[in-house]
Amino acid sequence: MGQSYRELIAWQKAMDFVMAVYAATKLFPRDEICALASQLRRAAVLIPTNIAEGQARFSPSEFHYFLGRARGALVEVETQLMIAQNLGYFNAEQGQKLLDKAAELGRVLNGLIGSIKPAA
């Protein structure tokens, strides 16, 4: 665990995902900016934040815990993206691109979680 969180592919992909979520939510209707757009952005930001915080901890158990929190935030974002898509806030192609990014991030995150062995 000697590397910086910024070197973690999961963190890098999570940061890229945050930028994609922010770009997509700029297109939301004005009355949604303080509602669904805000929730989406908050949850998206929690993904790389939890990865970074967990990596900065001194134990694999704590890192594993924070990676679990990051994964929880990711599924929250996925759910909110599907809601936004169902409400017509972006087209099917835009929604699918975001969900594909989320799925890829999820695979990377799951791989990282699997590589961290929490203390028994």
Domains along the sequence of the chain with CATH: 5-115 (1.20.1440.60)
* Tens of pLDDT, residues 28-41: 998 887 899 999 99
Q: According to the model, what pLDDT value does residue 1 have?
A: 47
Mean pLDDT of 74-90: 94
| Long-range CB pairs of 59-67, under 8 A, 24+ apart, other chains included | 59/119, 60/1, 60/116, 60/117, 60/118, 60/119, 61/118, 61/119, 63/1, 63/116, 64/113, 64/116, 64/117, 64/118, 65/118, 67/10, 67/109, 67/112, 67/113, 67/116
pLDDT digits (tens, 9 = 90+) for 9-60: 999 999 999 999 999 999 899 888 789 999 999 999 999 999 999 999 889 9
Consecutive H or E run containing 108: helix 92-115
**Whose CA is closest to 39, among 54, 23, 25, 60?**
25
